[in-house]
Amino acid sequence: MSVSAIQNSGVCPSPEVQRAQPAPAAPPTEDPVKEDRVVPEERAFDRYEPEGKSEVTVCDTGAVDRELESLRKEREQLEQQLRTAAPEQAEAIRQQLDQLTRELARKDNDAYRRQHAVFS
């Protein structure tokens, strides 16, 4: 078997040199005493079993929905009255309609629903 120039350059040790070197030592194993030692808190967590019961929370916005629906119906009624009303009454109905529209705009949003939701 011939030896190439790369093997002779000293970059790689020859097979004879590799055989003569002792094998690398095995990494030290962990202390067996440490493996057996368990902290009491760890044992407590190992035995922890969560309870079978789970609590369910329900968010009910039904009351808010009913309130908004009644405001919408009232707005429709006022709009109908405004169409058929005499000019003397039209201004009073228009003021009621404006007030109702502002109230509906203030209440018909997610923030109002969250604030007035019932959780059980």
pTM: 0.52
- pLDDT in the model for residue 55: 79
| Of 116, 40, 101, residue with least CA distance to 71 | 101
Q: How far apart are CA 78 and CA 84, in angstroms?
A: 10
CA distance 68 to 101: 11
- Domain range summary for the chain, segments of one domain joined by +: 78-120
**93 near 85, Cβ under 8 Å?**
yes
Q: pLDDT-based confidence at 103, cuts 50/70/90? A: very high
The 8-class DSSP code of residue 10 comes to T
Residue 14: predicted pLDDT: 64
**Chain centroid offset of residue 111 CA:** 19
Q: How far is CA 87 from the centre of its chain?
A: 57
Question: Residue 106 corresponds to which tokens in the numbers above?
Answer: 């203030």
pLDDT of residue 19: 66
pLDDT in tens, 13-43: 666 666 666 666 666 666 555 555 655 555 5
Over the Cα atoms of the chain, what is R_g? 42
**pLDDT digit string (tens) for 34-91?**
555 655 555 555 666 666 677 788 888 999 999 999 999 999 999 999 999 888 899 9
